[in-house]
Structures are given as C-alpha cells and as structure tokens.
Amino acid sequence: MSRLPFWRRALRAVVFVGAQAAAAAGLFAAAPAFAADEPLEKLTVADPYLELRTGPGRGYPIFFVVARDESIEVELRHTDWFKVRTSGGKEGWVQRDQLERTLTAAGGSKTFRDVMLDDYLRRRVELGMAWGTFKNEPVLKLWTSYKLSRSLNIEGTVGQVQGVFSGTNFWHLNLNAEPWSDKRVSPFLGVGVGQFKNIPNASLVGAETTNAKLANATIGLRYHISERFVARIDYTLYTAFLSDSQTGEYRAATAGISFFF
C-alpha cells in the first residue's frame, strides 16, 4: 500500500492534535452563556419598560415587564442576549439593544463589547495554514496552538519544502509570547525545538538523506479579520544541528490564515 503524501499526513496530524486539545478543553460543546462584562452591575431602566423573556431568543415568550426607573442586575451573556435579575428577584433574558438603552450608576448609557470580540478574547484552540519561502524555496506549513494564558500559547507546526534538488519535511514545537493578545493587531515572539529531514532527489548521485535536530526563533504579527478568522505573517530563523561540529541556518517567511474555536 502506497504511503500518503507528507502534507496529507501532516494535515491529519495537525487536525487530530487540535481536535484532541479542543475536546480536552471542552470546546466542542454548544456555546454556553458566560459571565457578563461586569457581573452583577446595577443598571436603571430608561425606556418606558424593559421586556424579560424566558430564554435567549425572540422565539421565547415575554413573561415580565420591568418599569422605567427600576433597577436590574446583569448576570450572564449568551451571544447578544443577557440574563438579568430585577430588584424583586425576577430573572429573564433581554436583548443587547434594549440593555444599551439603560443607564449605569454614573448616569451614562451602558455599552457592551461586540460578541465577536468576546469570542476572540476567549479563544483557546487555533488551526492554521501558511505559505511562503524557506531558504528561497516554496514552503507549506500547518499549525495548531493552544492558549495557556492571556499572553502565552504552545504551538505545534509541521511543514514541507519542495526544493529544486531536494525536499525537506520538518516539525517543531514552540512557546509563543503574545503580550497584546487582546488587540486586533497583535505581534508575537516564539522559540522552539523540533526536527527536519532533507531528502535529495533520486537523480543526484551520492547524495544522502539528512536528519537533524532543529531549533528556531520566530517573530510575527497577527490580525483578527472577522468572526473566527485571523491573518498572520511571520519570519523564522531555523538552526539545524547537522553534526557535533556543524550547523546550518535557514530563514523562512510565511503568510497565512487560521481559525479559532
């Protein structure tokens, strides 16, 4: 039986790792309600009334109306619906546009972050693909990452370089620092280790396959396009440990796109 091409095996591996990380984090469950921007913040109804529904959607019936000048507390958010509690203990769901017409304790209108931004800030698992050059030869790479904290993530990458005289397969595991991960445009730095395998063309006489340990340092920039998609460019310096006394350096520049969940 013939073996699958490297890039197809790599894609399967990346998707599998990402799926396992997502499953472990419980990320494939239906989108739950989550804590609002400012839990239990008191708001005052400014419209003539505020309608409470039994669930987060227009299909749910209205069961209670809050009068003007009465206070409510925001408990949970599910997409653009918010669960609130009245001063009398009634709990129900209100749409975002209605809550944005309420008043804060300071007397100003209440505002909420866009739900897409909330998704972006809460992202955990990310899958991506990029194209570019590796030592002036075309490269395709796939990666999956898992967010460890607000500014740190661990990222696994597999790639393939198709050169004129040889082909190179590589993989590496990186630790990335992203100090401004809450911004739409976010630079990052990374360091990692891995391995690469260089396979010469069969037409080259006497050429041997090379296996070597690999270290790298990366600098890049991410841009949140919309919804769950992110554009990314990066520049990486690879150092291959070819023998006890010999190393090789390779530079790669790539641009690609990823999605998070």
Minimal CA–CA distance to 147: which of 192, 182, 195?
182
- Listed in order, the ranges of the chain carrying CATH 2.30.30.40 are 34-119
pLDDT at 186 over 90: yes
Name the residue with higher pLDDT: 156 or 119. Answer: 156
CB 224 within 8 A of CB 116: no
Q: What's the average model confidence in pLDDT over 146-164? A: 92
pLDDT tens digits for range 56-76: 988 999 999 999 999 999 888
Region 139-150: mean pLDDT is: 94
Residue 142, helix vs strand vs coil: strand
| Average pLDDT, integer, range 98-120 | 72
Is 261 within 8 Å of 27 (Cβ atoms)? yes
Sequential DSSP letters for 209-258:
-EEEEEEEEEEEEEEEEETTEEEEEEEEEEEEE-SSS-EEEEEEEEEEEE
pTM higher than 0.85, yes or no?
no
Give me the architecture of the 6-27+124-260 domain, per CATH. Beta Barrel (2.40)
Which residue spans of the chain are classified as CATH 2.40.160.20? 6-27+124-260
The confidence band for 30, taking pLDDT boundaries of 50, 70 and 90, is: very low
**pLDDT score at 38:** 46
CATH class of 34-119: mainly beta
pLDDT exceeds cutoff 60 at 123: yes
Q: Which residue did the predictor score with more confidence, 181 or 23?
A: 181
4 versus 138: which is more confidently predicted?
Answer: 138
Which stretches within 63-184 are classed as H helix? 96-99, 115-121
Task: Work out the pLDDT band at 207, boundaries 50, 70, 90.
Answer: low
